[in-house]
Each structure stands twice: as C-alpha cells, then as structure tokens.
Structure 1
C-alpha cells in the first residue's frame, strides 16, 4: 500500500449529470424531484438518472416512471431524445466536452465516461509546492468543500433530528476534520511529502470544481488520493458537490468496513469469486492474505 505515494490522482464525477443537463435546458426543474428516462414510453420509460430531491423519496435508477411516481407523485420526468431509434446523447456529450475542457487546464485528464474523468495532479501539485515558501500554511477556508477521510470520528447520533440539524452537524465535522488535517502537516514545506502533495492536490481540485461551476453551471464531486482505485472510492463518500481527500493512513480503517465489491474492478464476478474462495466480505480481511498467496490463487496479474 505504501507504493505510489508520490502520485496525486483525482476522480471527478458530475453529480446526477443527465439531470443537471436537463435542468440547465429547463431551469424550472431545478430544486424539484426529477428523473431522466429513455427509450420505451411504456410505464413512463426506464429511469437512468435521479435528482437528489427524488432520491429522498425512494426513487432509484432502473425504476419505471409510473412506479417512481407512486413513491414521489410530484416527480418530473425528462426524456432523452431519440434519433433513428437510438438514444440521441448529443446534448449530454456537448455538455461533457465543456466540462472536460475546463478540467484539462488543471491536470492531465483521462476520461472514464461521459460524466467522469481521472486527473493526474502529481506534476501540478509539485509545481504548486515549488512556488510556496517554507512554512507553508493553508487557510482552512480554501478547502471549503473538502472532507478528509479518517481524521475525525463522527459524533454519536443524537436522536432523530431534522435534516437541517444533520447537515449542520456534518458541516461542523467537516471543518473540524480539515483543521485537524492541516494542523497535522509538517511545519516545513517538504515537496516530496505525500501529505503536503495531497493537500496541494485538494486545493487544485477545489479551484477546478469552482471553475467548472462558474463556466458551465455544472456541479461535480471529487476524490483525491494516490491512485485511481482510492480516488474512485473516496469520490462517492460525501456527494453531492463535495470532495474527499483520502490519505494513505486512513485506508486501513476505511477498508475494515468496506465490502470487496465497492472497490473499482471488484464489483462483479471477480469480487464475488474472491469473497467466496477466501471466505471474506471486507477489504480489510483481504489485506491479511500475503501477496504470494493471492498470486498463487488468482494468477500473478490479478493477484
């Protein structure tokens, strides 16, 4: 796990991208429960994207429109246009190109899908650190949408509470975690230090996401860590419109309760096979097996 700490990698994921595109086309949909459907109109079509307002009512991808409206009567449905019997994704691809164009100014980009991209921020982070003086200190306000995974434990649940109380508590925990992380950074600017490089990467991603929002109107979430798998993993921890920094020291505790299928490339048959053959459920358990045994059981490349 300690290999590759010199790298800074981010995964940026557009929040409910198809919904956002439809909301930009029709601003009346903003702030309302809505979903995007495609193909057959039978039973309202098949839902492929759901706004967070609709998710709160139990609407999920894969539902039919009619079924979803039973859970959320006010649900607004937007339909993907068709051309020659196929879904016409032109406006979504154009929106994606706009977003990727902004992101490419901040790092080396690798598109993962229409609404996701990886960025190698290693060089950009190192250059950022080269330009600062010794004794570099980051104001916590510059990391205003950043969570640092594993730095502080959530407070115990205090009754049911309402959504406002929950959001305020989460924001309090976020700020405390960021400040604790910044306080833990070495007093001198060691450009090779993985903690400082990740922090510089998080600053760059904050700037990039703000630029995407300002120039395109689209919101996105991000994960920042040392490789693609960890960046992908932490990107989904604090959506929407937030980013999560995952330092190497926080990975073991996160893995202790993380199902194997949640890891990139282990969500299908391979993950099921690993869990069955090794009689385990969590990534933390997989960590207990020596690399030689994994190579012997699953082949050198996969192991």
Structure 2
C-alpha cells in the first residue's frame, strides 16, 4: 500500500525525465535508415508478428498503438501492418531463448550518466529517471539567477508553464517573462532555475546520445511524473505551486500512480470519487476510516499535491519486465511442460 510521507520542503526542485519511444530510438540509432519511418519494436515471440512494446510517433499517426482498447493484450505486428502497411517492425534481441534488453539498459545508462552531472538520480526504469535538482537550482539562483541572464537558451523558452495564460501574444515571450520575473516568490524562482537546467540537460542528452526526452519539473516526484507525459515528444513542462490544484482536480483517479488497481476501483465504487479533486470532499479522518491511518493520510495528501518521497540515489533501474507467451498449439497444459521453461 502507498506510504504517506509529508513534504520535507516546498522548495524542492524535482524533475522526471522520460525518454521518448525509447526502444524505438535505440533501434533507430543502430539503424539510421529507420529514422522518420513508422517503426515499432516487437516482442521476440513472433506469433502474429509479435506484440508491440514500443511505437514511434510516425506510426501512431496511422493508428498503431501498443494496446487495443477492446482487448487486454497489446496490438501485434500483423495488426499493425494492416493499419500501417509501411511500418518497420524490429524484434527485441534474443539471448538464450529470452528477450535480451541489454542494448536498451545500456543506452539508458548513457542518459543517466549525463543527468547525474547536475543532481541525484533515481533510475525508475530503463527509460525514466527522477532527478533532484534542488542544490543545483539554489546555486544558480544565488550565483546566476534567470532575471540576470542576457541570453536565454531557446530550448528553455519552449517550456510549457502550467497555468500560464497564453491567450494572446508571443508564447515564447510570455514564457521568458515568467522565467525571468524578479518579483516571483522563491519557489517559482527555483522552478525557473530548474527549467533552465533541465533544458540544457535534455540538449546535452540529444547531443551525446542522439536520444530525445521529455521532462516534468515540479516541487515533488508525484507532480513531476504527472507533468512529464503531458507534452511529448521532446518537451518539458513546469508545474508552479499555484497550478497544482488545477492539474490534480480534473485528473481521473486511475491516472494517478498506485491508484490504477484495486485501491482506485474502491475509491470509485465505495466513495464515488472518479477524479483526484473528488477526494477533497473527504476529511483525512474519513479516508483513514475507510483505508487505514497510513493510506488515508496518503490519499488526503495526494489530493492536495503533497508528496514527500525522496529521490533515491540509484543508477540501476528498479525493475524491468520480461515475459514469454505460449499461444495456440504451444500453450503449456501440463506441469511437466511448464517446468521446462522455469
């Protein structure tokens, strides 16, 4: 169950860096002729063309998806070819009869080594990293604050600032004004420094590895992760403290990390809470009565954007998956047949 941790500080600067279609990018670096082409990486099991585990943005435009909404498993290569006849299918490498993820894991390590130059890194998976930039942001704010910069990197001006009004005028100029406000509070100034730092890191990753990535920049891990997937590919979004409730209130419960399973279903059925904002109507005591002291407090916290999880110094991915399916005539029907593959 989730663990409730209070914020240690509301002035932390945390980034969640998420690689864009990473498995596809790795394959495209090995085979440059695939760049710009509709491409998908498929499982080593070739049944019906193999299950899709990564789909390029070019292929997505034709309707190729990893998951089929009306079916529980991923779209397979043969189905992808029906939707997009020109798609290039690349199979995951195989070693000793199993998927070999070494090339993707090693490529992820290249990215982590660059990000770690600016802060403490937590490698959450092969293609996503949390980065604590608090110290780097505080140093920049003290020595070279954004409002004193004579030249602003173009990449940081492409940032999406959540809650920033863009109804009229030059978008980049509005972002520049937000980043360089001398009258901003300390929290926003630190986030502005974080935006500058992350933009440079993303450009450095692209230069050294040829991989693009997207990022969310916020005051905690939960908010940073939510933001990183909002504007992909090759984008970054900043979540000021004043915009946290606007982000969370309309968010479907099931979109929150740790609420996609039984706990989220219980919130929907038992409490009628379908969005994160719906949780605001319940007191902390009420949530504790339903889900226990710890989980109740955690739910009360996340509805308000409170999350004290620290970025752990970990350069290896916490987990990665590898599976094997045996469809049709290859289905495993006896204990003896299962033991062969155990």
Does structure 2 retain, via aligned residues, the 8 Å contact 1:151–1:180?
Answer: no
1:148 and 2:129 are equivalent in the alignment: no
Aligned positions of 1:1-303 closer than 5 A: 4-61=9-66, 62-132=74-144, 136=148, 141-142=153-154, 143-152=156-165, 174-175=171-172, 177-179=174-176, 181-182=178-179, 185-187=181-183, 193-303=186-296
Aligned residues of 1:223 and 1:246 also touching (Cα < 8 A): yes
Number of residue pairs aligned between Structure 1 and Structure 2: 283
Deviation of 1:66 after TM superposition, in Å, equals: 0.5
Tell me which residue corresponds to 2:326: none
Offset of residue 177 of structure 1: 4.9
Q: Greater CA deviation, 235-244 or 133-142? A: 133-142
Structure 2 stretches lacking a partner, 5+ long: 1-5, 67-73, 297-342
Gap change, CA 1:154 and 1:134, over 3 Å in 2: closer
Q: CA deviation at 1:137?
A: 5.7
Q: Which residue of 1 aligns with 2:306?
A: none
Larger Rg over CA atoms: 2
Match in the other structure for 2:304? none
Q: Contact between 2:62 and 2:84, CA under 8 Å: does it hold in 1? A: yes
Q: TM-score, normalised by structure 1?
A: 0.87
- Following superposition, the deviation at residue 287 of structure 1 comes to 2.1
- Shift in Å at residue 111 of structure 1? 0.6
What is the RMSD computed on CA atoms of the aligned residues? 2.2
C-alpha distance 122-75 of structure 1, shift in aligned 2 (>3 A): same
Structure 1 gaps of 5+ residues are 156-171
SS in 2 for 1:13: strand
SS of the aligned residue for 1:301 comes to helix
Q: Could you tell me the TM-score, scaled by structure 2's length?
A: 0.77
